[in-house]
Amino acid sequence: MKKHLIALCLAGALAACERGGEAPREAPIRVEGERVVLSEPEKADFLKLATVERDQGTTLRITGRLIWNEDLTARVVPQVAGRVQKIAVELGASVKAGQLLATLFSPDFGMAEADARKAQADLTVARKALERQRELHAAGVVSDKDWQQIEAETTRAQADADRARLRLAGLGGSADGTYPLRSPLGGIVVERNLSPGMEYRPEQNGEPLFVVTDPTHLWLRLDAAESDLAALKAGEPFAFTVKQYPGEKFTGRLRHIGDFVDPATRTVPVRGEVNNPERRLKGGMFATAQIELPPTNLLEVPAAAVILIGDRHYVLVEEAPGRYIRRAVRSGRTQDGRIAVLEGLSEGERVVVEGNLHLVKFFKTSGQTPAQEKQ
């Protein structure tokens, strides 16, 4: 029995020795400083690479919307409350400057007219009193103090009359309380937001009763990314497309580059002018502007190749099949899915654009920062 136990122990020890003698299996991916190495390079087909190239020029695409040309647009709003009596034009009508659009009955205008008449009457009385007192003052009957008071009252009456007259002139209207709403410029009535009998009050702050514009000249409002600003210049031509006319291109010219960045969207408003002689384009249409950018001397890679780690950007550069070095780069603008690299790469090098995130995580799990790994 004792010999049998000894034999079992020797067999177990021999098996343990044999197992201990096996060579350890190599890790499929290992990190060597700034490099990540695949033990089986032939299995690197899960990675996709791209070559570092010079910028050959590109087309910048920015979405936007066609709007009315505000230099040629009037939003007609009454300055007094009133009830719509008559509508003189239809939607789509062509009007001239000063043409009647609608008539309102306005008690407010009647009150303004009454105030103007009262102020003028008060001024007439004050002037007559001033003339009478002038002679008495010259004769010494009226004291200087009383004379100065009479002059002040006449001056106040004159000011009240001027103010009422100017308000009445600004309102327009007629003696029977009707208020004509006229177009301040010539164009097409593109909006009409009133109906007969409708009550209007200025404090409503609603839509204008009429919008008159020249639809043969439009603006294209674009929202450009901050990175696009260097490529945008006022006066430059551009092309654009709208989905309503597939395959057809229209043209315009950039007129204004905004001076502020929207804090919510991080975009800059850009305005272009568009001629629309046939009126095929309509206000409110969505459009995509295409701005041709000339070639530069910058190196470019697909944007997916650049990875942000902390506050620095890195790429994985192929040194040999299955062997990739992590390299810090200084990036520039991003356009059409490609990013300019200002420092850190050379033309012709190959960088990882798919699968790089899988490899980079091995650096993170090593517990070292990029600076520590360089030491």
Q: What is the full per-residue pLDDT of the chain (375 aa) written as tens digits?
A: 434 433 334 344 434 444 544 545 566 788 888 888 888 887 778 889 999 999 888 788 899 999 999 999 999 998 788 889 899 999 999 999 999 999 888 766 655 666 666 666 666 766 766 676 676 566 565 666 665 676 677 777 666 665 555 455 545 544 456 788 899 999 999 999 999 888 888 777 778 999 999 999 999 999 998 878 878 899 999 999 999 999 999 999 999 999 999 999 889 999 999 999 999 999 999 999 998 888 888 899 999 999 998 889 999 999 998 899 999 999 888 877 888 899 999 999 999 999 888 888 887 654 444 443 443
The pLDDT, as a whole number, for residue 144 is 64
Q: Based on the domain organization, do 218 and 267 belong to the same domain?
A: yes
CATH of the domain at 219: 2.40.30.170
- Could you count the other beta carbons within 10 Å of the beta carbon of residue 2? 6
Return the closest-CA partner of residue 100 out of 168, 177, 179.
Answer: 179
Question: What's the CATH code of the domain at 320?
Answer: 2.40.420.20
CA distance 356 to 317: 10
Within a domain: 10: no
Is 178 inside a domain boundary? no
Show Cβ contacts of residue 255 under 8 Å, excluding neighbours closer than 6 positions. 234, 235, 271, 272, 273
Residue where a domain terminates, one of 172, 188, 223: 172
Q: For residue 246, what are the CA distances in angstroms to 63, 155, 173, 250, 274?
A: 16, 69, 50, 11, 18
Going from the C-alpha of 54 to that of each of 43, 57, 348, the distances in angstroms are: 30, 9, 9
98 Cβ contact partners less than 8 Å away, ≥ 6 residues apart: 182, 183, 184
Res 172: pLDDT: 52
Ordered DSSP codes for 234-301: TT-EEEEE-TTSTT--EEEEEEEE-SS--TTT-EEEEEEEEE-TT--S-TT-EEEEEEEE---S-EEE
- Domain containing 302 equals 29-56+297-374
pLDDT at 204: 75
Q: What is the pLDDT of residue 14?
A: 39
In angstroms, what CA-CA distances link 150 with 159, 161, 294?
14, 17, 78
Give every strand in the sheet of 94-95, ordered side by side: 73-76, 210-213, 187-192, 94-95
E strand segments, 77-209 = 82-87, 94-95, 100-105, 178-182, 187-192, 199-200
CA angle at residue 239 from 334 to 68, to 5 degrees?
A: 105
Q: What is the DSSP-derived secondary structure letter of residue 28?
A: S
Answer yes or no: do 165 and 128 share one domain. Answer: yes
Query: What is the number of domains present in the chain?
Result: 3
Q: How far apart are CA 67 and CA 64, in angstroms?
A: 10
Determine the Cα–Cα distance for residues 247 and 369; give it in Å rounded to an integer: 51
Domain membership of residue 4 (yes or no) is no
Element containing residue 329 per DSSP (H, E): strand 323-335
Together in a domain, 252 and 240: yes
- pLDDT score, position 142: 63
In terms of Cβ atoms closer than 10 Å to its own Cβ (0-12, 13-18, 19+), residue 205 is: exposed
The residue assigned the tokens 């780690």 is 309
Q: Is residue 240 part of a domain?
A: yes
Look up residue 266 and give its amino acid. Answer: R
Q: Is 9 domain-assigned? A: no
Question: Which pTM value belongs to this model?
Answer: 0.61
206 in a structural domain: no
Angle at CA of residue 216, ends 213 and 217, nearest 5°:
75
